[in-house]
């Protein structure tokens, strides 16, 4: 049973119901979370920030697994043994390029299909869709990446940081009409949890579908 967590960003105003839900998914036993950064984090600045946050939610152990400059293939089996994966924020195109070059897409997909928790933050959440095309509205395709197919674990697309991305609304309406795909927009501090066939929305997660904007007042709603 898939357990997926899509976050826009971790902020000072995290949805409290979302945090309680995350604690429930993590559970109270030993939990090891693999952190995969979008690009190398030599000083572990972002890793330590995320580590501290998830320790407060019950994660007891962490693995820093770099798919960029510090890639270490010998850690691959250790990655597979982790209870979950955290995909960081950053440039979505660069992140996907790293995962493709290291052939990590199948590994992450397999772990998710086995029921291991997959957490995405911004770019990491966008990559849970079939394609990262929507990332063009927030990121530059700095490496001219041509193959945009990604993890294909969800049947919708995700637009993070909606508090600053709202000017893209008209373009996203057209995008949804052209691509016939649902988009969920998410503010920082809010998120989406998928467990099996159940999808839960925490905070104000709006919907764009078939060229239409669907205003939402979700705050822990289950579908």
- d(C-alpha 25, C-alpha 80), whole Å: 19
Does the structure show a pLDDT above 70 at 219? no
Local confidence band at 218 (pLDDT 50, 70, 90 cut-offs): low
- d(C-alpha 101, C-alpha 29), whole Å: 34
Across the range 15-32, mean pLDDT stands at 96
Under CATH, what is the fold of the domain 3-222? Rossmann fold (3.40.50)
The domain segmentation of the chain, as residue ranges, is 3-222
**Coil, strand or helix at 133:** helix
pTM of the complete model: 0.95
- Residue-level pLDDT at 103: 97
pLDDT by residue (tens digit) across 158-206? 999 999 999 999 999 999 999 889 999 999 999 999 999 899 999 999 9
Does the structure show a pLDDT above 50 at 222? no
Closest CA to 131 of 183, 90, 87, 79: 183
């Amino acid at each position: 049973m898939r357990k997926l967590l899509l976050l826009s960003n971790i902020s000072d105003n995290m949805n409290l119901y979302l945090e309680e839900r995350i604690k429930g998914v993590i559970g109270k036993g030993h939990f090891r979370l693999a952190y995969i950064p979008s690009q190398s984090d030599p000083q572990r600045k972002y890793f330590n920030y995320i580590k501290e946050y998830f320790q407060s939610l019950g994660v007891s152990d962490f693995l820093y697994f770099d798919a960029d400059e510090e890639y270490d293939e010998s850690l691959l089996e250790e990655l597979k043994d982790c209870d979950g994966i955290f995909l960081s924020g950053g440039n979505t195109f660069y992140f996907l390029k790293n995962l493709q070059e290291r052939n990590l897409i199948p590994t992450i997909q397999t772990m998710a299909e086995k029921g291991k928790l997959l957490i995405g933050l911004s770019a990491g959440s966008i990559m849970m869709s079939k394609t990262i095309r929507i990332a063009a509205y927030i990121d530059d395709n700095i490496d001219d990446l041509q193959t945009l197919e990604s993890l294909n674990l969800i049947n919708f697309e995700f637009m993070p940081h909606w508090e600053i991305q709202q000017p893209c609304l008209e373009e996203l309406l057209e995008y949804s009409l052209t691509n016939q795909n649902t988009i969920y927009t998410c503010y920082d501090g809010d998120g989406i949890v998928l467990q099996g066939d159940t999808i839960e929305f925490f905070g104000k997660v709006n919907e764009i579908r078939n060229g239409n904007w669907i205003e939402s007042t979700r705050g822990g709603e289950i579908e």
